Structure 1
C-alpha cells in the first residue's frame, strides 16, 4: 500500500485534532474528486513499519483525538494494506482514541458482499467509530455539509450500527 500524505494536525476530517492518513489508489474516479492525484495506486510513498511507527507516535500525543483514514480509497487496498490499516485502527483504539474512515463504497454494499476482499473491508469497518460512506457526486456537492462533499454521503456511527444491527447516522450535522 502506498500513501500520499500524512497530516499531523488535521481539524477538517473528523472531530477534534486528528492525524489523517491519505492512502493511494482508487478505482471510483469520481468526477471532480478533491484528491485526484491519489487515485493512482503508485502515488506517494510505500507504507512500511517505519510509517506505522511514525503515525502511532503522532496519534499518541495527548491533544490528538484520533486517526482519520482517507484516500484515494481505503477499501481498494490489497491484503497487506488492510493489515496496516487494521493495525493502525487497533492501536489507535487501544490509546482510547477514535478512528474515522471515508469510503466511496456504500455501507450496505460492504456488509452484503460475500467476496474474500469483503472480509477485509468488514473487519476494518468494525474497528472504526465513524464511517463516511458513498462516492462523491459533483451534482450533489454541498459546501455546507460537515465532513463530506456531497449530500448522498452519510456519516455513520460504525461500531454502534454494528452492535445494534441497524444503520445509525450521526445526528446534528
Structure 2
C-alpha cells in the first residue's frame, strides 16, 4: 500500500511540475508598454528655516507610464515615469515625480501572474507652504507587488508600490500592458 501511495504522489508531483512548467511560458516574451492610474499616499515631516516645522500625510491621484522587457514567464526588467500627484493640506502642497527602474519576478498561475519587483527611483519634489517653496530630490529604494491577468499580449494589472520618496510614499494602481 505504501509503495502505491508513493507512486500516486510521484504522478501528482509530475503533473504539478508539467502544469507549472507549461504556465511559465504563458506570459508573452518581449518588449512591453503600459500605463496605470491610482492614488499615492505621501508622508513628509521636517523642519526648514523658511518653512518652520511641518508634518504632511496626504493622498492624491497618481499615474505612471512604463515599459520593459519580459525575458520569460518569470523574469523582466521594467522602468517608467511616475507622477505622484500634488496633494495639499492646510497651506502645504507637495509635488513629487520620478523615474524608476525595477527587476521583476513573477509566478504564472494560468492566465494570472503574481509578481514582485525591487529597484530604485530617482525623484524630485517641491514642497510649498504658505507661498514659500523648497525643493528636494534623491535616488532611493522602490519595491512593489501585484497581480496580472493576461489575455495573450494584453494584460490587466493591479499593484501596490512602496517608494522611499520623501519620508515614504505608497502608490496603488490599476493599469494595462501590451507586449510586442
TM-score class normalised by the smaller sequence: under 0.3
**TM-score normalised per structure 2:** 0.25
Rg larger for: 2
Structure that is richer in strand per residue: 2
**TM-score normalised per structure 1:** 0.26
Structure that is richer in helix per residue: 1
